[in-house]
């Protein structure tokens, strides 16, 4: 039950709660009114009945020494048949009945004890309240029983009760409606916090705004603390992983050089195996580092300026490779938002490095916005990779298609790793220039301003 309750929407919980409260309150008020009415009515009736008894008593007169009821002195309602006002007077074996009783036998049993009220179903659906009083008159004991029909009063009361209930339901409806609106308003800060969390996830924001209602403030500041903590530990483990990876690289470089020693030339199989293992460790370290340093799941993106950054990269490649290529730029007018500079340089750097190795004279660099992703492409006019299976292999771990060209052959595999961390895709195609085309699709995770 409590689990079902907890999973109900807050709005339903509040609605149900309010409904329950209002219904209980309504029922309580109704009950209170009812009880109050009963008591009021009883009080009134008691008073009235006693007065009537006393008036009847004064209507008893002596005529010729015999007690007699003076008809003229009693209420005419007693004379109308079944009027709702009745009496029975008993005195010394004699009995006077009001004419209104007609054929109804009010006192089938003994009259109630002195002063006690009694309810009695009356004639023609009437509800009678009757009371007997005992008096002394003319030196004799007189028992006067009067009764009055309270059914009309009851009907009146019930009508009032229905009207009240109707009014109450109306109020309840209004309250529920008001609460829907209010809940929406009251939950707005939570909705805002939710969209801010999304922004944090996408790196547009570092924390949640703390300008929230007092009740939410502890929650928001806890979330902010948690974000801060997570960011800190992510950063620490990333730094630790980075340091670890970098610390491994120099000993690995020593190992790679040791393996190449001429003493081992006599054991070519052993040497090849050692080299293979060193290469495999080195490749692994390289790729893990590339991922650890990627900003894909980090919160801080360094802005990427395509024209400036890519031209800097091309200048660096031209210097490192010692040859100038014709670079065709298809990057102008692209306003890139939400991509990290360092990661994009890593993607373009590795792809262009590869292109630079193979191109005859021309490479093409493209970045283009698509509706839900970025398209990054690097093409060259080199020999390309003719075999489709080889293209797949080039993206795999540590694959190297041509041992004769310098480099670790990890470039495209590292590109694939980074792109994967962003949830994107890399594919290799045949370029219109004749060589290889590296196509990268990076999902657009946030609203980007385009021109």
Partner 1 sequence: MRLLLVEDSVALADELLPQLRSEGYACDWLVDGRDALAAPGVDDYDIAVLDLGLPGMGGLEVLAAWRRAGHRFPVLVLTARDRWTDRIAGLDAGADDYLGKPFHPRELALRLRALLRRSNASPAGAQLTVLGITLDETAQAICTAAGNVSLTAAEFRLLRYFMLNPGRLLSRSQLQDHVYDHASERQSNVVEVYVSKLREKLGRDAIETRRGQGYCFVGQRA
Backbone dihedral region for residue 296 (phi beyond 0: left; psi -120 to 50: alpha; all else: beta): alpha
Residue choice 145, 286, 362, 431 for contact with partner 1 (CB under 8 A): 286
Identified binder of partner 1 from the candidate list 282, 336, 365, 433, rule CB under 8 A: 282
Site for partner 1 in 103-162 (CB under 8 A): none
The b-or-e profile of 108-134 (16+ CB within 10 A means b, else e) is eeebeeeeeeeeeebbeebbbbbbbbe
Q: Residue 73 corresponds to which tokens in the numbers above? A: 């002195």
Answer yes or no whether residue 382 interacts with partner 1 by CB under 8 A.
no
247 or 270, CB closer to partner 1? 247
Q: Judging by DSSP bridges, how do beta strands 326-330 and 362-369 pair with one another?
A: parallel
Distance of CA 424 to the CA centre of its chain: 31
Which member of 277, 312, 361, 427 binds partner 1 (CB under 8 A)? 312
**Which CB atom, from 313 or from 436, has the smaller least distance to partner 1?**
313
Measured over the CA atoms of residue 190, residue 196, residue 202 and residue 203, the dihedral's sign is: negative
Q: How far is the CB of 224 from partner 1 (least distance, A)?
A: 30
Give the tokens for residue 80. 């109308």
Q: What angle do CA 404, 435, 419 make, to 5 degrees?
A: 85
Closest approach, Cβ 203 to partner 1, in A, equals 18
Q: Which is closer to partner 1, CB of 11 or CB of 366?
A: 366
Rounded to the nearest 5°, which phi and psi values hold at 233? -75, -30
Classify burial at 9, counting beta carbons within 10 Å of its beta carbon; exposed 0-12, middle 13-18, buried 19 or more.
exposed
Does residue 26 contact residue 165 with C-beta atoms inside 8 Å? Answer: yes
Instruction: Please pick, from the candidates 251, 303, 423, 443, the single residue that binds partner 1 as defined by CB under 8 A.
Output: 251
Applying CB under 8 A, which of residues 227, 290, 426, 440 lies at the interface with partner 1?
290
Question: In sequence order, what are the residues at sequence separation of 6 or more whose Cβ sits closer than 8 angstroms to the Cβ of residue 193?
Answer: 208, 212, 216, 220, 223
CB of 304 to partner 1, least distance (A): 11
Residue number, 346 or 377, with CB nearest to partner 1:
346
Cβ 413 to partner 1 shortest distance, Å: 14
Site membership for partner 1, residue 257 (CB under 8 A): yes
239 binds partner 1 (CB under 8 A): no
Q: Which residue has the tokens 């290889």?
A: 436
Compose the 325-354 pattern: x for residues touching partner 1 by CB under 8 A, - for all others. ----------------xx--xx-xxx----
Q: Is 333 helix (H, G, I), strand (E, B) or coil?
A: coil
Binding segment for partner 1 (CB under 8 A), chosen from 55-63, 91-99, 239-247, 361-369, is: 239-247
Could you tell me the smallest distance in angstroms from the CB atom of residue 204 to partner 1?
22
3-state secondary structure of 411: helix
DSSP H helices in 206-305 = 217-259, 268-293
If one asks whether residue 240 binds partner 1 (CB under 8 A), the answer comes out as: no
Interface mask toward partner 1 for 260-279; x: CB under 8 A: xx----------------x-
Q: Is 316 in the site for partner 1 (CB under 8 A)?
A: yes
Residue 250 contacts partner 1 per CB under 8 A: yes
3-state helix, strand, coil in the chain (%, to 5): 55, 20, 30
The whole-angstrom separation of Cα 34 and Cα 254 is 98
Q: Which of residues 391-420 bind partner 1 (CB under 8 A)?
A: 406-408
| 253 interacts with partner 1 by CB under 8 A | yes
Residues that bind partner 1 (CB under 8 A): 245-247, 249-258, 260-261, 278, 282, 286, 290, 293, 312-313, 315-316, 319-320, 322-323, 341-342, 345-346, 348-350, 406-408
């Amino acid at each position: 039950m409590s689990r079902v309750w907890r999973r109900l929407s807050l709005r339903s919980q509040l609605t149900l709660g309010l409904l329950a409260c209002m219904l209980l309150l309504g029922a309580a008020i109704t009950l209170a009114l009812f009880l109050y009415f009963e008591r009021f009515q009883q009080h009134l009736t008691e008073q009235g009945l006693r007065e009537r008894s006393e008036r009847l008593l004064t209507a008893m007169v002596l005529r010729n020494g015999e007690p007699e009821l003076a008809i003229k002195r009693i209420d005419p309602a007693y004379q109308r048949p079944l009027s709702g006002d009745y009496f029975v007077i008993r005195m010394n074996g004699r009995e006077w009945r009001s004419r209104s009783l007609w054929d109804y036998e009010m006192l089938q049993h003994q009259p109630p004890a002195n002063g006690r009220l009694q309810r009695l179903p009356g004639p023609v659906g009437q509800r009678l309240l009757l009371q007997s009083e005992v008096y002394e008159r003319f030196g004799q004991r007189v028992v006067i029983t009067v009764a009055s029909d309270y059914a009309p009063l009851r009907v009146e009361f019930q009508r009032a009760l229905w009207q009240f209930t109707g009014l109450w339901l109306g109020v309840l409806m209004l309250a529920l409606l008001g609460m829907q609106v209010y809940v929406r308003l009251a939950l707005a800060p939570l909705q805002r916090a939710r969209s801010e969390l999304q922004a944090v996830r996408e790196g547009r924001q570092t924390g949640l705004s703390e300008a929230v209602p007092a009740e939410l403030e502890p929650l928001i500041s806890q979330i902010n603390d948690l974000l801060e903590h997570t960011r800190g530990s992510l950063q620490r483990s990333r730094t630790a992983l980075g340091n670890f990876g970098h610390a491994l690289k120099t000993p690995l470089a020593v190992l790679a050089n040791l393996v190449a020693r001429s003493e081992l030339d006599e054991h070519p199989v052993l040497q090849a195996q050692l080299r293979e293992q060193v290469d495999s460790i080195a490749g692994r370290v390289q790729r893990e580092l590339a991922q650890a340093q990627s900003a894909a799941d980090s919160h801080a993106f360094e802005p990427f300026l395509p024209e400036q950054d890519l031209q800097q990269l091309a200048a660096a490649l031209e210097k490192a490779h010692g040859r100038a290529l014709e670079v065709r730029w298809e990057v102008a007018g692209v306003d890139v938002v939400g991509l990290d500079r360092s990661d994009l340089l890593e993607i373009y750097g590795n792809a262009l490095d590869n292109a630079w190795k193979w191109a005859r004279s021309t490479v093409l660099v493209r970045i283009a916005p698509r509706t839900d992703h970025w398209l990054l492409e690097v093409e060259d006019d080199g020999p390309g990779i003719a075999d489709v299976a080889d293209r797949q292999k080039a993206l795999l771990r540590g694959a190297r298609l041509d041992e004769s060209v310098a480099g670790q052959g990890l470039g495209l595999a590292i590109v694939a790793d980074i792109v994967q961390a962003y949830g994107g895709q890399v594919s290799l195609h045949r370029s219109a220039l004749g060589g290889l085309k590296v196509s990268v699709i990076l999902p657009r995770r946030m609203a980007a301003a385009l021109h």
